[in-house]
Amino acid sequence: MELRQLQYFVKVAKKQHVTQAAEELHVAQSAVSRQIHQLEEELGMQLFVQKGRNLQLTPVGKLFLMRMEELLSGLDKAVNEMREFLDPELGEVRIGFPHTLGISLIPKVVAEFRKGHPQVKFRLKQGTFSSLIRDVTRGEVDLAFISPFPERHDQVDGEMLLTEELYAVLPTGHPLAGQESIRLEQLKDDPFVMFSDNYSLRSIVYNACKEAGFTPQIGFEGEETDTIRGLVAAGMGVGLLPEMALTEISDLMPVKVRVTHPRVTRTIGLVRRKGEKLPIVAEMFQRFLFNHFREDPLES
């Protein structure tokens, strides 16, 4: 059993498609198929079954994937630890974050850190609240930005970094678009453009509407900030978005209006695996973040 076979197996399992896996691995499709076939022969078990044009893991394949992800994650961690032992400045920081922070916050703090540590590498991974917690506990990332910040959790420790305000976003032709501020209840008759169920911002918006005395009518759902923002700008409804998600300017922009009652916010924190020492370079980045947000909390 070779490391290459295991890496190819994990990639195919994630993509559920040999061609797509081969493209990401920058190798020929035949090479991937051959390695998977050899791995199945060596193990004496079938890891995949064909389902239409895709491949689906068998029950034993799912178990094997879970173990191989743990193994490869541990291998990556060991390699990084050896590099850090020789020179922490040559290490790699593995960071998870929700996609709403990828517009400005993550690029800003990474760029600022690398001014003093130009050779440190970063491996970035986006995810939802639950997937980021899982990535931290499995050791797939060293640190994760989380929103909302969990005050208590059995498997992770951390520190809150900042509180961010959410604004109402309205089409330019909306009757309230010219107001400096509104009460959320004024939007009770409008359809809302919301994030999908697995995004924490959905529950924040939903709970804020309930606090304002109404249940939001959901007109459209999306999984990307750009989608929510674009649908609102196109007149498909109204929404609530974090301030950081509104910093980027595009051709299709909604109107941003402050909500005075209830004031809608989200907390953002940094978490790590409970009871486990961070790699040296990740510890350096964590200290930098804590100092950075104490000096510039970005609080509204």
3-state secondary structure of 250: coil
C-alpha dist (Å) from residue 41 to 1, 3, 13, 30, 44: 10, 16, 17, 16, 5
Phi, psi (rounded to 5 degrees) for 88: -55, -30
Positions in the chain short of pLDDT 70: 84-87, 296-300
Each domain of the chain, given as residue ranges in start order, spans 3-70, 72-162+267-295, 164-266
Tell me: domain 3-70, CATH 3.20.10.10, correct?
A: no
CB atoms within 10 A of CB 287: 11
Instruction: Give the CA angle between residues 114, 135, 155 to the nearest 5°.
Output: 110
46 vs 286: CA distance, rounded Å: 43
Q: What is the pLDDT of residues 60-103, one digit of tens each?
A: 999 999 899 888 888 887 877 777 666 678 788 999 999 889 88
d(CA 179, CA 261): 14
Q: Do domains 3-70 and 72-162+267-295 have the same CATH topology?
A: no
Strand-pair partners of 168: 240, 257
Which helix (H) or strand (E) is 194 found in, with range? Answer: strand 191-195
Return the pLDDT at 299: 41
3-state secondary structure of 27: coil
What phi and psi, each to the nearest 5 degrees, are found at residue 80? -65, -40
Q: Could you tell me the fold of the domain covering 72-162+267-295?
A: D-Maltodextrin-Binding Protein; domain 2 (3.40.190)
- Cβ neighbours for 3, distance < 8 A, ≥ 6 positions apart: 75
| Span between the terminal Cα atoms of the chain, in Å | 54
Residue 160 pairs with which residues in a beta bridge? 269
pLDDT at 151: 81
- C-beta separation of 259 from 184 below 8 A: yes
Buried b (16+ CB within 10 A) or exposed e, 78-114: eebeebbeeebeebbbbbbbbbbbbbbbbeebeeebe
Q: How buried is residue 148: exposed, middle or buried, by Cβ count under 10 Å (0-12/13-18/19+)?
A: middle
Res 300: pLDDT: 36
pLDDT at 220: 94
Q: Are residues 237 and 190 in contact, defined by beta-carbon separation less than 8 angstroms?
A: yes
Q: Which CATH architecture has domain 164-266?
A: 3-Layer(aba) Sandwich (3.40)
CA-to-CA distance for 56 and 218, rounded, in angstroms? 34
Cα distance between residue 218 and residue 83, in whole Å? 50
- State pLDDT tens for residues 102-117: 888 999 999 999 999 9
Return d(Cα 15, Cα 97) in angstroms, integer.
21
* C-alpha distances in Å from residue 163, one per residue of 12, 26, 130, 277: 39, 42, 20, 27
- Give CA–CA dist 258/215, Å, rounded: 20
